[in-house]
Amino acid sequence: MSVFEKFKHGLTKTRDFVAAQFNRLAAEFGHFDDDMLDELEMTLIQADCGITASMESIDAIREHIRNTGDDSHAGVIGALYETLSSMLTERKLTLERGKLTIYLMVGVNGTGKTTTSAKLAQRAKREQYRVMMAAADTFRAAAIDQLKVWGERTQTAVIAHDMGSDPAAVVFDAIQSAKARGTELLIVDTAGRLHTKKNLMDELAKIRRVIDREAPDAKLETLLVIDATTGQNGIIQARAFNDSVALTGIVITKLDGNAKGGVAIAVARETGLPLVLAGLGEGADDLQDFDRELFLKAILPEY
């Protein structure tokens, strides 16, 4: 399957949903008037794109119609595509041979940090990088075991302490070990935490400080993992994690599920952070670089 097909496949439900709404509107009216635009706005909101992003998109379409007089199906989708596209930024994660890169995976509980870490390890392994994982989730029962199982499956070294130990200490050891072994990618899997818990956010900031101090030359990517089913709270999450550890990118997981994934747009619009990865399925190959164009093509009808 090509990357586009993967996106398309993962987002089939969203695409069907948006396209169906569009086609229904187009069939009923043939061109777009105010009532239809209101409905279109609701379609975007239903895809979890968020109120601000949805309203802005509709305003842009209104503007387009006013300026060009083009209220056709294709014209409206084109304008919508342009607006949504301007809200999203993408960035590719890169590794450098012979140099240490660290991925710090953060997020609220249950978004898929451990699974994403494992998939990232597998991907880098396949490209012949020297990879290591650090089990810095010392809170959730059996999280360490889960990562170790993945470590065995992907033949990746896992640095772990006991449950309940200080995650910053795990990270410290992992960095020393990574330096000694000439590791090129160290993936730090942290415990899920609600962004409202100050002590847990402080703990994360401490991990970040340890990384900055112990591996000042390493390239650090601080990645927020967001579940595609998340609603508007995703925006608040992104802001809070950004404040605590200075994010460099967003990973959106479970895009193949029921969710329409509009939260990616909402978060990108509100924070300006780039989207770096998209989880499009349960298989290891289904973690892909986020592609703005493919993402939008996969959710909007053709025009």
Partner 1 sequence: MALFENLSSRLGRIADAMRGKSRVTEKDIKNMMREIRLALLEADVNYRVVKELTDEIGEKALGAEVLESLTPGQQVVKIVHESLIHILGEEEKLAVSPTGFTVFMLYGLQGTGKTTAAAKLGLHLKERGKRPMLVSVDVHRPAAQEQLRVLAEQAGVERYINPEEKSAAVIAQQGIERAKYMMCDTLIVDTAGRMTVDDELMRELKEVDDVVKPDERLLIVDAMIGQEAVAIAEAFDRQIGLDGFIMTKLDGDARGGAALSIRRMTGKPIKMVGTGEKLRDLEVFHPDRLASRILGMGDVLTLIEKASDAFDEKQAQKTMDRLKANTFTMQDMLEQLEQIQDMGSMKEMISMIPGMGQRMGNLEVDERGLIRTRAIIQSMTVRERENPKLLNASRRRRIAAGSGMTVQDVNRVVRQYDDMLKLMKQFGMLGGKKGRRKRLPFGSGFGF
| Chain residues in the site for partner 1 (CB under 8 A) | 42, 45-48, 51-52, 108-112, 139-143, 145-146, 148-150, 163, 194-199, 227, 229-237, 239-240, 254, 256-260, 262-263, 270, 281-282
DSSP 217: T
Within its chain, how far is the Cα of 91 from the centroid? 11
Crossing angle for the helix pair 12-29 and 3-10, to the nearest 10 degrees: 70
Which residue lies nearer to partner 1 by CB, 3 or 142? 142
Q: How far is the CB of 37 from partner 1 (least distance, A)?
A: 15
Q: How far is the CB of 148 from partner 1 (least distance, A)?
A: 8
Within its chain, how far is the Cα of 150 from the centroid? 21
Which residue lies nearer to partner 1 by CB, 208 or 254? 254
User: How far is Cα 164 from Cα 131, in angstroms, rounded to an integer?
Assistant: 25
Contact 253, 282 (CB under 8 A): no
Which residue lies nearer to partner 1 by CB, 96 or 282? 282
Which residue lies nearer to partner 1 by CB, 90 or 227? 227
Q: How far is the CB of 153 from partner 1 (least distance, A)?
A: 8
Which residue lies nearer to partner 1 by CB, 234 or 301? 234
DSSP of 120-158: HHHHHHHTT--EEEEEE--SSTTHHHHHHHHHHHHT-EE
Q: What is the largest CA-CA distance in the chain?
A: 67
Q: How far is the CB of 145 from partner 1 (least distance, A)?
A: 4
Which residue lies nearer to partner 1 by CB, 218 or 290? 290
User: How far is Cα 37 from Cα 62, in angstroms, rounded to an integer?
Assistant: 8
Contact 69, 61 (CB under 8 A): no
Q: How far is the CB of 284 from partner 1 (least distance, A)?
A: 13
Contact 25, 40 (CB under 8 A): yes
Q: How far is the CB of 152 from partner 1 (least distance, A)?
A: 9
Which residue lies nearer to partner 1 by CB, 182 or 283? 283
**DSSP three-state, residue 184:** coil
- Nearest to 133, CA basis, from 116, 145, 121: 121
**Residue 30 amino acid letter:** G
Q: How far is the CB of 85 from partner 1 (least distance, A)?
A: 22
